Chains A and B, each alone.
Chain A
């Protein structure tokens, strides 16, 4: 009904080589069922935009372990030796981005901005190859927006038209990524009737959400 479909059917629409944003912070707030489905359907050569690669076989770490990622844009791979190994092998091309810059680049992508100016990274290797702008005597890096073909987000609650709320520290990159992709897919722990989530509580408005993952037992 409406936007709700089985994970398998939704992931069939994600082609190999797609650029995919996956939310979560050390696998907290990560859409696990969608990841499992990407692995099951072997969607290869992905460009993955995500905060960190968690641990081997955990969260987005499953995509790494299954060798589905060709290019990775992330702030931290230190907890996943498999990512580091594939990076040194040349199997994954890794762009390391300061975490706050990553958040702002995604926000810029979703909010129609041409980029952001940040002092973070000035005078470090992060500055290499980037434009700088001086404003009132202070130097800033020009950091370009990030967008994706698909954003895979994880909600605590979704109503049936796709209004989303997130729980505690599982919110992290979710609301930002839900703004920054052509197609937004939300996996929620609970699907509730419209009206249960009050307008003031909505963190991602339904208009941004294209697909909702059905309950596992559901026939969608």
Chain B
């Protein structure tokens, strides 16, 4: 299992039957494949659907049914489509249980930066600011470092996506929960030492007496 799949598998365990979930583009989209189809989890895409299936059934692709990246999807039985105001009403109005987003940086207070790198990458925030501000629970799914540099930092140098702290950070090394006292190390990936997590994290971590192996991945040998 590669790093991204491991992250996606761990994130999938956070989703509960009945949850309405929005997955960001990139790594977070892998989470859908880790959730059984009968798990009772509904996926939203912000371009206007609840009940999407990430990949279109072969031969059933239609130009009018896509995800937020413009890729063909399928609508599961029971799906609903709507306009952009309702789609963001679901997001901002507290109807969205979980959003899973990628990250460029997360600071020690759990605040996320994921929408621009001034001077080099200005894609725009798309729906990210509304998602982080409005979802009941925000999970960041990202690699622990980028080009060897920590993405979990004392203070974000990149523009924030929202002033609201995220609820959970899942990387290929660890599960970290931002709390009022700071970043709490909750779980570590199989085969990863606490020293390594410390070394590759740019902010202080709160260490419980015992840090268990990542839930659902205890048997994994890496």
Contact residues of A with B, CB < 8 Å? 25-29, 51-52, 54, 74-79, 84, 87, 96, 98-104, 107, 118-126, 156, 166-176, 203
A-B contact pairs, 6 of them (CB 8 A): A102-B84, A121-B133, A122-B133, A124-B129, A168-B65, A173-B83
Residue of B47, B82, B88, B163 with most partner-chain A CB within 10 A: B47
Task: Say whether B75 contacts A168, CB under 8 Å.
Answer: yes
Given A26-B70, A103-B85, A169-B65 contact (CB < 8 Å)? yes
Given A169-B64, A169-B66, A122-B85 contact (CB < 8 Å)? no
Task: Say whether B88 contacts A122, CB under 8 Å.
Answer: no
Closest CB pairs A-B (n = 5): A78-B123, A123-B163, A100-B88, A26-B70, A100-B130
A175–B48 Cα distance when bound, in Å, is 12
| A5 CB to nearest B CB, Å | 25
Task: Say whether A119 contacts B134, CB under 8 Å.
Answer: yes
A120–B164 Cα distance when bound, in Å, is 10
| A95 CB to nearest B CB, Å | 10
Note all chain B residues with C-beta closer than 8 A to A78.
Answer: 121-124, 126
Note all chain A residues with C-beta closer than 8 A to B134.
Answer: 100, 119-120
Specify which of B45, B88, B91 is in contact with A169 (CB 8 Å cutoff).
B45
A168–B127 Cα distance when bound, in Å, is 19
Task: Say whether A119 contacts B84, CB under 8 Å.
Answer: no
A27–B160 Cα distance when bound, in Å, is 28
Task: Say whether B122 contacts A169, CB under 8 Å.
Answer: no
Contact residues of B with A, CB < 8 Å? 45-49, 62-66, 68-70, 75, 81-85, 87-88, 91-92, 121-130, 133-134, 159-163
Residue of B49, B129, B133 with most partner-chain A CB within 10 A: B129
Given A100-B91, A169-B48, A156-B66 contact (CB < 8 Å)? no
Q: Closest residue to A23 on the B side, CB-wise?
A: B84
A107–B92 Cα distance when bound, in Å, is 15
| B186 CB to nearest A CB, Å | 26
Specify which of B75, B83, B127 is in contact with A75 (CB 8 Å cutoff).
B127
Task: Say whether B88 contacts A171, CB under 8 Å.
Answer: no
Note all chain B residues with C-beta closer than 8 A to A101.
Answer: 129-130
Q: Closest residue to A119 on the B side, CB-wise?
A: B133
Task: Say whether A99 contacts B127, CB under 8 Å.
Answer: yes
| B38 CB to nearest A CB, Å | 24
Note all chain A residues with C-beta closer than 8 A to B83.
Answer: 103, 166, 171-176, 203
Task: Say whether B130 contacts A26, CB under 8 Å.
Answer: no
A170–B84 Cα distance when bound, in Å, is 10
A79–B126 Cα distance when bound, in Å, is 11
Specify which of B92, B121, B124, B161 is in contact with A119 (CB 8 Å cutoff).
B92
Q: Besides the contacts A99-B127, A172-B47, what 16 more A-B pairs have beta carbons closer than 8 Å?
A: A25-B84, A26-B69, A76-B125, A100-B130, A102-B84, A103-B83, A120-B133, A124-B163, A125-B159, A126-B125, A126-B129, A168-B49, A169-B65, A170-B64, A171-B48, A172-B84
A154–B72 Cα distance when bound, in Å, is 19
| B107 CB to nearest A CB, Å | 12
Note all chain A residues with C-beta closer than 8 A to B75.
Answer: 168
Task: Say whether B70 contacts A76, CB under 8 Å.
Answer: no
A1–B66 Cα distance when bound, in Å, is 34
A29–B63 Cα distance when bound, in Å, is 9
Note all chain A residues with C-beta closer than 8 A to B126.
Answer: 52, 75-76, 78, 98-99
Task: Say whether B84 contacts A99, CB under 8 Å.
Answer: yes
Q: Closest residue to A98 on the B side, CB-wise?
A: B129
| A197 CB to nearest B CB, Å | 17
Task: Say whether A168 contacts B85, CB under 8 Å.
Answer: no
Note all chain B residues with C-beta closer than 8 A to A76.
Answer: 123-126
Q: Closest residue to B121 on the A side, CB-wise?
A: A78
A33–B192 Cα distance when bound, in Å, is 56
A87–B121 Cα distance when bound, in Å, is 12
Task: Say whether A99 contacts B163, CB under 8 Å.
Answer: no
Q: Closest residue to B86 on the A side, CB-wise?
A: A103
A81–B62 Cα distance when bound, in Å, is 26
Note all chain B residues with C-beta closer than 8 A to A102.
Answer: 84
Task: Say whether A104 contacts B49, CB under 8 Å.
Answer: no
